[in-house]
Amino acid sequence: MMLRQAAKKALGLTSRQSTPWSVGISRSYHENVIDHYDNPRNVGSFDKNDPSIGTGLVGAPACGDVMKLQIKVDEKTGQIVDARFKTFGCGSAIASSSVATEWVKGKAMEEVLTIKNTEIAKHLSLPPVKLHCSMLAEDAIKAAVKDYKEKRLKTNGAAAAAGQTAQA
């Protein structure tokens, strides 16, 4: 909620600054970006200790952005059933992570690993200077999947060890 308000305020400021209608050069955000800003999908958090959740936490030090993307995986089918994000950064970074959460839902983990930043950038018509925001989103997806897999390995390993001791 806070993020959305802050986002709206920031957007209000930035669009005034970056869209000088009087000059006639419209360097404005693409409507897809504004859409994700005004109606951000999937903002929020999951409990990161939940075994069905994978958390990807990435940062872009050049601009001081942080992005957290979480996936909820159905452990039987390996499909991502839900996703959440929390991003502190520019409009393009927020929109990129919002798009990412939309695109991973309902897909298998292996499939989302093939989502490329260029596709996100194209969908949002990101200018070249903002391409790294889409890269950040791609990295966040990969980090979330990696985290989930590592968690599974740990729990499986623990379960196997417990099973062995039980048998013994």
Partner 1 sequence: MNRAKKVVASVSTLLTRRTFYPSPTFRCDPLPTVSANSESHWSHESLQPSPSAQELRFSRRRFCSGSSDKRITVCWNCGFSSEKAAFLFCDSCRSIQPIDDSIDYFQIFGLERKYELDGGSLEGKYKDWQKKLHPDLVHNKSQKERDYAADQSAKVTEAYRTLTKRLSRAMYIMKLNGKHVNEEETITDPTLLMEIMELRESIAEANDSKELDQIRSQVQEKLKQWSDSFVEAFESHRFDEAVKCIQRMTYYERACEEIVKKL
Q: Which is nearer to partner 1, 105 or 146 (CB)?
A: 146
Torsion of CA 100, 74, 59, 65, to 10 degrees: 50
Asked if residue 57 binds partner 1 (CB under 8 A), the reply is yes
90 is catalytic: no
Q: Which helix (H) or strand (E) holds 58?
A: strand 53-60
Give the shortest CB-53-to-partner 1 separation in angstroms: 15
> CB under 8 Å to 75, separation ≥6 — which residues?
51, 52, 152
Smallest separation (angstroms) from partner 1 to the CB of 156:
22
Binding mask 87-106 for partner 1 (x = CB under 8 A): -x------------------
Catalytic residue among 83, 124, 133, 135: 133
**Cβ atoms of 145 and 109 closer than 8 Å:** yes
- Site residue total, partner 1 (CB under 8 A): 22
Please report how close the Cβ of residue 121 comes to partner 1 at its closest, in angstroms: 13
* Residue 125 structure tokens: 């018509």
Any long-range contacts for 9-17 (C-beta under 8 Å, 24+ apart)? Answer: 10/91, 11/37, 11/38, 11/91, 14/91
Stretch 59-88 residues interacting with partner 1 (CB under 8 A): 59-64, 66, 68, 86, 88
22 three-class SS:
coil
Q: State yes or no: is 63 an active-site residue.
A: yes
Looking at 13, 63, 158, 159, which residue is catalytic?
Answer: 63
**Which residues belong to the active site?**
63, 133
Query: Contact residues for partner 1 (CB under 8 A)?
Result: 2-3, 6, 10, 13, 57-64, 66, 68, 86, 88, 132, 135-136, 139, 143
